[in-house]
Amino acid sequence: MKLVTYDELPESSDSGRAVVQMAAFGGFPPRRTIEAWRRRSSRIADYVGVFAVDRGEVVGQAFVERFPYTFPHATETIAGIAGVATRLDRARTGLARKILVEIHRREREAGIAYATLWTNRSWGAHRLYDDLGYRDIYVPPMAVRVGPPARQPRARSRVRPGRPDDAEAMDELHDRFGAARWGFAHREHGINRLAVRTRELRPKEQVLVAVADGRPVGYATVDSTPFRTHCGELVASSERVRDRLVSAVEARAGTGVVAFRDGVVDTMGARFLRRGYAVATAGWVVLMGMPFSGPRNRAAVLREFGADSAKFLCFSGDRF
């Protein structure tokens, strides 16, 4: 068994890579998408990720992203480790640990001081990450309601489906919304345009835009099926625009289940309770963080990342 980078994998290994990825997460990033991000963005690490290969077969993997994170002390580029997975027939063999240790080595050598990843606290992998020095820093809340949409308040803004040319306005709105906030408050310029270009964001189906006086003043991202509608990112220029977008998401859900997650719930606070939602302040999904400078207890890591403050901002679009 050997550890290799993405560029060392031949295209003939893509089916094996897809088996590992899809068995764990249900999706698969094709080469054309990965290459589009490498050409147009600095978010993907130069080596893309680390893959375990045994007798020509991919049996484990992890991808690496790099993005700005605003700590209480400064904004720094950090590592986001994504898609950590091993084939089930290689589980509990120490393979994931070897992959992560190699990634940590590479990131330290690149001058990165912090690593983050998302996981589920019910998974055995959570214990591995904790053992490596990661600590829980953010557990996203969720607000859920079943029933007809609420009556929409009167407002000057109207809400329409998103368009591809809204991507730049979404970037600008997020920048203003994140001013003076910590965490994922600052994103790479043009990231929404790139997501539209690669079809990872489909504005007509997945974005609602609030417009006033002919210009966007807020947006919400939605993930809908006939059975439920999720909203994990909602940015608005005022409380009134925010209420209008919430009502638009509820209208999209109709009489089905509507759920708001992550920073939307943090921002709305008790307003969801007044709208008849059940609110869970914690779930199974968790963001974990680790300073490379040495082990810390959870309280110290929380303070260092600023995730225990009301200034912390994290939407579902900040998952990786």
pLDDT tens, residue order, the chain (320 aa)? 999 999 999 999 999 999 999 998 989 999 999 999 999 999 999 999 999 999 999 999 999 999 999 999 999 999 999 999 999 888 888 999 999 999 999 999 999 999 999 999 988 899 999 999 999 999 999 999 998 766 655 555 699 999 999 999 999 999 999 999 999 999 999 999 999 999 999 999 999 999 999 999 999 999 999 999 999 999 999 999 999 999 999 999 998 999 999 999 999 988 999 999 999 998 899 999 999 999 999 999 999 999 999 999 999 999 99
Q: Could you tell me if 253 and 230 are in contact, meaning their C-beta atoms sit under 8 angstroms apart?
A: no
Cα–Cα distance list, 237 to 6, 131, 233, 244, 314 (Å): 41, 42, 14, 11, 17
Kindly give, in sequence order, each residue whose CB lies less than 8 Å from that of residue 53, ignoring residues fewer than 6 positions away: 1, 2, 3, 4, 9, 13, 59
142-280 matches 2-139+284-318 in CATH topology? yes
C-alpha span between 225 and 103 (Å, rounded): 36
Q: Where are the alpha helices (DSSP H) in the chain?
A: 14-25, 31-40, 95-109, 125-132, 167-177, 191-197, 203-206, 239-253, 263-268, 271-274, 298-305
Q: Could you tell me if 87 and 80 are in contact, meaning their C-beta atoms sit under 8 angstroms apart?
A: no
- Kindly indicate whether the domain formed by 2-139+284-318 is annotated with CATH number 3.40.630.30: yes
At the top level of CATH, the class of 142-280 is alpha beta
Phi, psi of 159 (to 5 degrees): -120, 130
Residue whose structure tokens are 């690149």: 110
State the pLDDT at residue 156. Answer: 56
Per-domain boundaries in the chain:
2-139+284-318, 142-280
State the pLDDT at residue 159. Answer: 97
pTM of this structure: 0.93
Residue 135's nearest CA partner among 305, 314, 283 is 305
